[in-house]
Copies of this chain bind each other. A is one copy, B any other.
Amino acid sequence: MTELSTHWILTLVCEDRPGIVHAISGAIVGANGNITESQQFSSDDTGTFFMRLQVEAAISQEEFSAALEPITQRYEMTWRLDVVGRPLRTLVLVSKAGHCLNDMLFRQRAGQLSVEIPLVLANHPDLAGLAEFYGVPFESRPVTSAEEKAAFEARVLQVVEENDIELVVLARYMQILSPEFCAALSGRIINIHHSFLPGFKGASPYKQAHARGVKLIGATAHFVTSDLDEGPIIEQNVVRVDHSRTPAELVAIGQDEESRTLTQAVKWFAEDRVLLDRARTIIFK
């Protein structure tokens, strides 16, 4: 490879049939590319083929796309070609709790999370100082009525449009979203949700978890669909607790799991490692 070579991420999704790997690797050889990483999965559930490649090649994005086109057309692929490490344009929505936002910003600065955050949008002003410390623009708009809620969602979609936002992260944004809003951002909006065994519905889940004496509490990062807290799961973590924990302590422990689980999900998404197979995710770690 010359010094001018670029590291590319190529993801492909198509109907599963023989010859795909040979065809796509041929196109890559034709582009003088070298495959440095490759993962694939054939879903028995849906008959779908998924592939993620990292390729080193001294070629422009236009040239590489042109070289791939005959294959992506023949197999009717959904595909995406991107440069390794390009920061993902990410909009973060928050309310008052800062644990998830803090974790994302700290890791971004530490070079562990490749995102670019043009704005943090909040329905409370509490986290302005945290955003400011990390040099990220912050905007707060109250959401206390149906009108304000609609205005907030409209503002989100406007920011998404104007900034070419690729991912919206609900970093403990404590508002129910309208189905239209969820649909408009389908596949590019991620939420973090506390998780328990068994699951608890309704308000005060940590109180319920305490009352049932659960021994594990955790968090689930998932895509948002109109069916709240029920979209495709990206990542889950749990941690052990015991009877001596108060509901307040369970909340604190749960927040740690929420932070690391959400950041992990955003990181995988930013690295094009998350693909969708109907209601479940394929994660190429």
- Interface, chain A (partner B; CB < 8 A): 17-22, 25-26, 28-29, 32-42, 44-45, 98-99, 102, 106, 110, 112, 129, 133, 195-199, 210-216, 218, 220, 229-230, 232-238, 242-244, 246, 252, 256, 260, 277-283, 285
Contact = CB atoms under 8 A, between A and B. Distances in A.
A202 B21 CA distance: 40
B215 A235 contact: yes
A37 B238 CA distance: 26
Given A220-B197, A236-B216, A243-B283, A110 B99 contact: yes
Given A19-B29, A99-B110, 5 more contacts: A21-B38, A22-B26, A41-B243, A198-B230, A211-B279
Given A22-B28, A102-B106, A196-B197, A212 B40 contact: no
Query: SS class of chain A's interface: helix, strand, loop or mixed?
Result: mixed
Contacts of A32: 18
A29 B35 CA distance: 19
A29 B18 contact: yes
Given A36-B42, A106-B102, A214 B236 contact: yes
22 contacts: A17-B34, A18-B33, A21-B25, A21-B38, A25-B25, A38-B40, A44-B246, A45-B211, A129-B133, A197-B197, A210-B280, A213-B232, A213-B277, A214-B233, A215-B234, A215-B235, A215-B283, A216-B236, A216-B238, A242-B285, A243-B282, A256-B260
A214 B279 CA distance: 10
B211 A283 contact: no
Contacts of A19: 25, 29
A213 B112 contact: no
